[in-house]
Amino acid sequence: MAKTIASINSLLVGLKTVNSSLLVKLQQLGFNTHLPVGAEQEYTVKTLVLAIDTLSIQFLTITANRKQFIQRTSYKERLIIESCLSKLLACLKQTQTELNEYHPISNHCDNSQALSYISESGERCHLKLLDAIEYIDEIKPYCRMLEMIIAHERIHALSAVLETLLSKDSKTIAEEDHELTAEQSNALELSQYLIRQAL
């Protein structure tokens, strides 16, 4: 197995593992998970955590076919993906550490800003999870590219099946129904032609 794929899969499993407990821990400590985050407020804390989970699942699905993943990405792209995932995992681990060290008695959640709290000394602090948005944005184009490739291959497979069905249907109709009018026969041929062109 290529080292990059083994490393990417290991990072993805790590992401799923660490991320699985973050949302519950945030809620237990009193952080408002419905506050918006991101440059354009594109996430809430909750949807950010869910986006990380979805990203992990998508990449695990994509990398499951090792040969296809290697063919569809360059070594440089795999290194970039690996680096982004590594930074994202480090971010989640740091957040997990921060949450384990957080004491609700001496620290107070700041409900006016997402993932922030006021420390015992009165200093405003932010959880490292805020940086996750940057790493997600870095990796999204690769995820989209691979999803498009997979979708394109599925379309080709489905079109082959549909083509087979169309050829069987026209033979079956010709054999079974000899009472088609010329207009119906032309309409049938036209619809089959249009479907083939769409494929």
- Over residues 121-174, the pLDDT tens digits come to 889 999 999 999 999 999 988 888 777 777 777 777 777 767 776 676 555 555
Give the mean model confidence (pLDDT) for residues 59-63: 86
pLDDT exceeds cutoff 60 at 199: no
Q: Where are the alpha helices (DSSP H) in the chain?
A: 3-28, 45-63, 66-72, 75-101, 132-176, 182-198
pLDDT at 183 > cutoff 80: no
Which distant-in-sequence residues (6+ apart) come within 8 Å of 135 by Cβ? 84, 85, 87, 88, 91
| One-letter amino acid of 163 | E
Which pLDDT belongs to residue 171?
Answer: 57
Mean pLDDT of 18-30: 94
Inform me whether the pLDDT recorded for 178 exceeds 60: no
* Band of pLDDT at residue 79, cut at 50, 70 and 90: very high
Task: Tell me the average pLDDT across 170-197.
Answer: 63
Whose CA is closest to 35, among 130, 132, 134, 139?
130
Partners of 109 in the β-ladder: 117
Range in 42-46, 54-58, 88-92, 185-189 with the lowest mean pLDDT: 185-189
Tokens of 82: 């690996």
| Model pTM score | 0.75
Considering only CA atoms, give the Rg of the chain: 26
Highest mean pLDDT range out of 58-67, 89-98, 134-143, 153-162?
89-98
Domain coordinates of the chain in residue numbers? 3-155, 157-198
d(CA 135, CA 55): 11
For 192, which DSSP code?
H
- Residue 119 above 60 pLDDT? yes
Handedness of CA 92, 95, 99, 100 (dihedral sign): positive
Cβ atoms 118, 108 nearer than 8 A: yes
More confident residue, 93 or 182: 93
pLDDT value at residue 65: 80
Residues ≥6 apart with Cβ < 8 Å to 162: 195, 199
When comparing pLDDT for 91 and 112, which is higher?
Answer: 91
Mean pLDDT of the chain: 85
